Amino acid sequence: MNRKYKIAVMGESNVGKTVFFGSYFHQVTDLSKGNYPVAIKSQASDDKITEIITQLFEKKQVVAGTDVRVDFSFSVDSLGMDIELVDLPGGFTTNRDYWDDEEVSKDLRNADGAFFFISAHDIIHNPSEALKINRAFADAISRIRANTQGEVKGRSDVPIWFIFTKGDTVPDVSVEILISQVPSLMDAAKKEQI
């Protein structure tokens, strides 16, 4: 019996979420012709992921924007994991006005892990936009870390990952430099902070 894990996905429209997930699934499923441990069990998710991989790697076209929640859930049976992963339209996760209507708040409170997508291009070339998104993300991290009333286990150990996209547009910038540009997010994500 696999254990279920819910992953929250945060990132503005166009940051590169769908391209990242499409590339990930291309690498880890038998669509890239090897013997890989990841299984996509829901037919709807499988159809959607196959469509994205075909678009990116066979037709070599960019993918259309996401305007509804897209289920990317998958399983790694060898690790006993069922992973619930949903690709959301970007605006929902960076504009806090949507968080209650679109269940983003609930996703954050219940997440077993979270991905925050940040454009390396924006950090370097559009810092005011990056700062705006940082503020929304710092708020999201505090919701992930918050202790829900009555919950026994604290939330200080929920893993949070930052994914810097579009690194190819700023080839001379190291990941250390990118991290140094978002200190408030790194601090907010630290495990000890509750």
Ligand X SMILES: Nc1nc2c(ncn2[C@@H]2O[C@H](COP(=O)(O)OP(=O)(O)O)[C@@H](O)[C@H]2O)c(=O)[nH]1
What lies within 8 Å, CB to CB, of 27 at 6+ separation is: 36
Mention every residue, 6+ apart, whose C-beta is less than 8 A from residue 181.
123, 124, 127, 130
* Rounded alpha-carbon distances, angstroms, from residue 22 to 37, 54, 111, 129, 141: 16, 9, 22, 25, 25
Q: Is 137 in the site for ligand X (CB under 6 A)?
A: no
Out of ligand X, Mg ion, none, which partner does residue 75 contact, by CB within 5 to 8 A per kind? Answer: none
Least CB distance from residue 68 to ligand X, whole Å?
12
Number of chain positions touching ligand X (CB under 6 A): 17
Please report whether residue 13 would count as binding ligand X according to CB under 6 A.
yes
Residue 11 near which of ligand X, Mg ion, none (CB within 5-8 Å, type-dependent) = ligand X
Q: Can residue 175 be called a binding residue for ligand X (CB under 6 A)?
A: no
Query: What number of residues does the chain have?
Result: 194
- Integer Cα distance of 80 and 76 in angstroms: 6
Pick one of Mg ion, ligand X, none as the site partner of residue 177 (Cβ within 5 to 8 A by kind): none
Query: Which entry of ligand X, Mg ion, none binds 168, CB below 5 to 8 A by partner kind?
Result: ligand X
Residue labelled with tokens 């893993």: 159
Residue nearest to ligand X as judged by C-beta position:
16
Distance of closest approach, residue 16 Cβ to ligand X, in angstroms: 3
The dihedral through the CA atoms of 100, 104, 110, 114 has a sign that is: negative
Which of 50, 66, 105, 110 is the binder for ligand X (CB under 6 A)? Answer: 66
Distance spanning both ends of the chain, measured CA to CA: 32
Q: Which residue has the tokens 């559009």?
A: 126
For ligand X, the binding residue among 143, 166, 181, 185 (CB under 6 A) is 166
Residue 166 binds which entry of ligand X, Mg ion, none, with Cβ cut-offs from 5 to 8 Å by kind?
ligand X
| Region binding ligand X by CB under 6 A among candidate stretches 42-50, 61-69, 153-161, 174-182 | 61-69
Cα–Cα distance for residue pair 26/58, rounded to 1 Å: 11
Residue 24 φ/ψ, nearest 5 degrees: -60, -50
Contacting positions for ligand X (CB under 6 A): 11, 13-19, 62-63, 65-66, 90, 165-166, 168-169
